[in-house]
């Protein structure tokens, strides 16, 4: 007797395993190219910890050990997808360098960023807006670091804590409040007081809490009421920018025929067949593993430091210290290409975005390579 609901067979052109930025980018691009895609995930990915731009790192330093220069691959395609799901983006032209601003006042190279985000080419005069009660909002320290040795002026101001605020409020709660009508008018009146009398030629950067659903409307309203443009810089986690993007990507994916399945992948077998722990099985043309490797929990680290991949039933290597993390992972996107399994994002050894600030370049590039190989094998 068939065991329906347990041994469900559902066919897909590609099964993507994971729910972080690399998984969504792969799944979204495949769907956009007309493939039938199923995204299988165990839990939430790291989008809510990511401000939302495609960070570039330093192209000269990226992946010193890589045999090919793959920084910059897939960036245009990633932007196209973001725009398709309704996120207006900006992009540096060839040869140009743009930088986003971190909450500690560092400048970080970027290649594509949502229109709501602050990015500059050269250091420029700036007003940094702080928010009282927002964790890690430190406009004075941020300003001090930012202007150091750059010959620019960086002014700061601080908005008071919002009405109803308590010490448990994080960036997401600020954003939910500013998303409401009451929150938006509070913000605009506070901003207009705080910015009164400041030099209108200065750009204004504010923490990334300008709503979740109504961000564009809020920014337009600020521009109309205050007569100046305001952009956001990413906060520490949780990151409202990533939540905004994932929300839009997820809705777009669902209504355009993408399917998501919650479950734990037990194994990927020849076929390829993706088996879930609860017995469901998915038959597919190719598998994209975007499980995050060590950092995302897709690999198990055992107490003796050995690293194991439970999906492919493989020993991956050994870690003795945190500095080994970059070296442990699949050796390349196409290491298992013959089995029609492709690995993307943080699962690939050699990328070290925590050190190199190039997470965006990593996922754009690895996804691009995987998609080209899927195209070839199809």
Partner 1 sequence: MKPLAKADACIKCSLCVTACPVYRVDLEFPGPKALGPDWWRRYEEAKVPAMPGVGSCTFCKACEAACPVDVPVAHLIAQHKSIEQKPLIKRLRDLVLSHPERLHVPAALIKLGKPFAPLLEMNPKTAWPTPSPVNLNKAGKQATSADNQVAVFVDCYTREFDSASLAAAIAVLSAMGYSPEVIGKQAICCGAAAQAAGRVAQAEKMAKKAHDVVSHELGNVVAVITLNATCDDTIRSEWASAFGLPQAAPVVSFAEFLDEHRDRVPDPVPPADSIIVHSTCRSRAARGDGALLELSELMGFTKISSLGLDCCGAAGSYAFKREHSAVSNKLVQRAGRYPGRLLVTDSGTCGIHIAEQTGANVVSPAELVAMCIGSEVDL
Among residues 138, 216, 261, 266, which is the contact residue for partner 1, using CB under 8 A?
A: 261
Backbone angles phi, psi at 119, to 5 degrees: -145, 145
Number of residues lying near partner 1 (CB under 8 A):
37
Separation CA 368–CA 333 (nearest Å): 10
Residue 338 structure tokens: 């013959």
Stretch binding partner 1 (CB under 8 A), from 153-161, 186-194, 237-245, 354-362: 237-245
Give min distance, CB of 261 to partner 1, in A.
4
Q: Which of the residues 177 through 206 are near partner 1 (CB under 8 A)?
A: 177
Stretch binding partner 1 (CB under 8 A), from 39-47, 72-80, 91-99, 314-322: 39-47
Give min distance, CB of 348 to partner 1, in A.
20
Residue 309, classed as helix, strand or coil, is strand
Q: Which is nearer to partner 1, 232 or 368 (CB)?
A: 232
Cβ distance 206 to 239 under 8 Å?
Answer: no
Among residues 6, 61, 132, 302, which is the contact residue for partner 1, using CB under 8 A?
A: 6
Residue 325 in the binding site for partner 1 (CB under 8 A): no
Separation CA 13–CA 30 (nearest Å): 9
Residue 167 in the binding site for partner 1 (CB under 8 A): no
- The H helix count followed by the E strand count for the chain is 10, 19
Stretch binding partner 1 (CB under 8 A), from 4-12, 92-100, 151-159, 191-199: 4-12
Q: Which is nearer to partner 1, 179 or 368 (CB)?
A: 179
Cβ distance 277 to 290 under 8 Å?
Answer: no
The per-residue DSSP string of 123-167 comes to ---EEEEEETTSTT--HHHHHHHHHTTT---EEEEEEPPPTT--T
Give min distance, CB of 340 to partner 1, in A.
22
Stretch binding partner 1 (CB under 8 A), from 40-48, 83-91, 105-113, 314-322: 40-48
Stretch binding partner 1 (CB under 8 A), from 94-102, 126-134, 236-244, 267-275: 236-244
Q: Which is nearer to partner 1, 41 or 116 (CB)?
A: 41
User: What Å distances lie between residue 238 and 118, 163, 264, CA to CA?
Assistant: 18, 21, 24
Binding flags for partner 1, 44-73, as an x/- string (CB under 8 A): x---xx------------------------
Stretch binding partner 1 (CB under 8 A), from 36-44, 76-84, 93-101, 112-120: 36-44
Residue 212 in the binding site for partner 1 (CB under 8 A): yes
Q: Which is nearer to partner 1, 35 or 173 (CB)?
A: 173
Among residues 106, 115, 148, 254, which is the contact residue for partner 1, using CB under 8 A?
A: 254
Separation CA 195–CA 241 (nearest Å): 24
Sheet holding 306-309, edge to edge: 300-301, 306-309, 314-318
Characterize the bridge pairing of strands 126-131 and 154-159: parallel
Q: Which is nearer to partner 1, 48 or 130 (CB)?
A: 48
Cβ distance 162 to 177 under 8 Å?
Answer: yes
Separation CA 37–CA 29 (nearest Å): 10
Cβ distance 171 to 209 under 8 Å?
Answer: yes
Cβ neighbour number for residue 172 with a 10 Å cutoff: 17
DSSP 2: -
Give min distance, CB of 123 to partner 1, in A.
33
* Footprint on this chain of partner 1 (rule: CB under 8 A): 1-6, 8, 40-44, 48-49, 164, 168, 170, 172-173, 176-177, 212-213, 237-238, 243, 251, 254-255, 257-263, 297
């Amino acid at each position: 007797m068939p065991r329906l609901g347990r041994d469900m067979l559902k066919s897909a052109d590609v099964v993507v395993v994971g729910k972080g930025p690399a998984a969504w980018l792969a799944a979204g691009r495949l769907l956009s190219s007309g493939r039938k895609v199923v995204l299988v995930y165990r839990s939430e990915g790291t989008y809510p910890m990511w401000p939302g731009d495609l960070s570039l790192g330093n192209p000269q330093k990226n992946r010193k050990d890589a045999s090919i220069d793959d920084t910059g691959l897939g960036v245009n395609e990633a932007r196209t997808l973001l725009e398709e799901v309704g996120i207006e983006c900006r992009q540096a032209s060839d040869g140009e360098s743009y930088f986003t601003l971190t909450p500690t006042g560092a400048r970080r190279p970027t290649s594509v960023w949502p229109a709501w985000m602050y990015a500059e080419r050269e250091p420029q005069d700036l007003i940094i807006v702080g928010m009282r009660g927002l964790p890690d909002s430190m406009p004075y320290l941020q300003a001090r670091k930012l202007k150091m040795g750059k010959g620019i002026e960086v002014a700061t101001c601080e908005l008071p804590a919002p009405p109803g605020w308590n010490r448990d409020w994080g960036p997401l709660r600020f954003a939910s409040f500013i998303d409401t009508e009451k929150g938006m008018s509070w913000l605009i009146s506070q901003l207009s007081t705080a910015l009164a009398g400041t030099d209108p030629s200065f750009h204004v950067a504010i923490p990334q809490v300008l709503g979740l659903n109504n961000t564009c409307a809020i920014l337009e309203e600020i521009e109309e009421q205050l007569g100046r443009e305001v952009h956001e810089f990413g906060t520490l986690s949780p990151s409202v920018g990533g939540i905004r993007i994932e929300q839009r990507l997820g809705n777009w994916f669902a209504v355009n025929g993408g399917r998501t399945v919650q479950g734990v992948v037990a194994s990927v077998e020849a076929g390829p067949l993706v088996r879930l722990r609860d017995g469901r099985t998915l038959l597919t043309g190719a598998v994209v593993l975007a499980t995050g490797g060590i950092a995302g929990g897709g690999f198990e680290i055992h107490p003796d430091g050995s690293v194991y991949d439970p999906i492919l039933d493989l020993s991956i290597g050994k870690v003795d210290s945190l500095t080994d993390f970059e070296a442990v992972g699949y050796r390349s996107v196409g290491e298992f290409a013959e089995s029609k399994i492709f690995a993307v994002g943080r699962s690939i050894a050699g990328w070290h975005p925590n050190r190199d600030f190039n997470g965006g370049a990593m996922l754009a590039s690895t996804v691009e390579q995987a998609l080209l190989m899927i195209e070839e094998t199809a």
